[in-house]
Amino acid sequence: MSDTPADRLSDADYHRLSHAVLASVEAQIDRWLQDDVIDVDTARTGGLLELSFPNGSKIVLNTQPPLQELWLAARSGGYHFKHVNGRWIEREGRDFFDVLSDSASSQGGKPLRFQP
């Protein structure tokens, strides 16, 4: 990914884009709760969103304004994402929503898909 530079965003754009990601994650979880797919609890404080799964495991999503990154911490590891060409991408080239979906599926024990 080093040959594709991260977009340099204004602070306002970074906050708008990063908080839109957190809002879309919360909205997807609300749909799963309504449809009785899985009972994931969410707790949000500013730019930090914690997802608590029925087995007691957690995924933590956190905005990092000084670095203009989104961080994801899950059982599978910790990931840092930068905004590149309209998507949040980590240094190995994986998309934020793909990593989150894989992590949530693993920790939730069933296929779970997040989309931008």
pLDDT tens digits for range 43-68: 999 999 999 999 999 999 999 999 99
pLDDT value, residue 3: 41
34 located within any domain: yes
Which CATH number goes with the domain that contains 86?
3.30.920.10
pLDDT value, residue 100: 98
Divide the 116 residues of the chain into consecutive groups of 10 and give the mean pLDDT of each group: 62 96 97 95 96 97 97 97 95 97 97 94
90-106: burial string, b at 16+ Cβ within 10 Å, e else = beeeeebbebbbbbbeb
pLDDT > 70 fraction of the chain, expressed in percent and rounded: 94
32 located within any domain: yes
Q: Are 5 and 95 in contact (CB under 8 A)?
A: no
**Strand ranges (DSSP E) for 20-97?**
41-45, 48-52, 58-64, 69-74, 77-84, 87-90
pTM: 0.92
5 located within any domain: no
Instruction: Report the number of distinct structural domains present in the chain.
Output: 1
Rounded to an integer, what distance in angstroms lies between the CA atom of residue 28 and that of residue 24?
6
* Containing structural domain, residue 47: 11-108
